[in-house]
Amino acid sequence: MAVQTCSQISTAMRRRPTIRVFLHEHRYVARFSSPDVLKTFEQDTLPTAYAAGANPLDVLRSVARDNPRAEVILAPSSSTRPDRPTTEGLRDQPTTN
């Protein structure tokens, strides 16, 4: 069994993708740090299946279950400022409840 130092563990954790979940226009959306998401969808912020009335813990659990290698964080609503997550194209996405 290999033993890792604290700095090795810290470096590995920094490379772990991050998903920030926050409310945007009455829906929960997820902003991905992974460049693969941006490359695939041409945006880094994608809608979830949850409306604003959903329990935030349920939303986090669902996103974490679908993305087991990522760190999922509930971001404050101030994260929806234009200088924060990219939300271009969200209005074109179909919404489901």
With respect to residue 49, please indicate whether it lies within any of the assigned structural domains.
yes
In a domain, 86, yes or no: no
pLDDT of 95 strictly over 50: no
Domain that holds residue 64: 14-80
Q: Does some domain include residue 74?
A: yes
- Residue-wise pLDDT for 10-24, tens only, equals 555 567 899 999 999
**Residue 39 in domain:** yes
CA distance 43 to 86: 7
Cβ contact 32:46 at 8 Å: yes
Judge whether 33 lies within some domain.
Answer: yes
Do the domain assignments include residue 18?
A: yes
Structural domain includes residue 57: yes
pLDDT, one tens digit per residue, over 48-81 is 999 999 999 999 999 999 999 999 999 986 555 5
pLDDT-based confidence at 4, cuts 50/70/90? Answer: low
Give the number of domains in the chain: 1
Are the CB atoms for 64 and 87 separated by under 8 Å?
Answer: no
Q: Give the pLDDT of residue 69.
A: 93
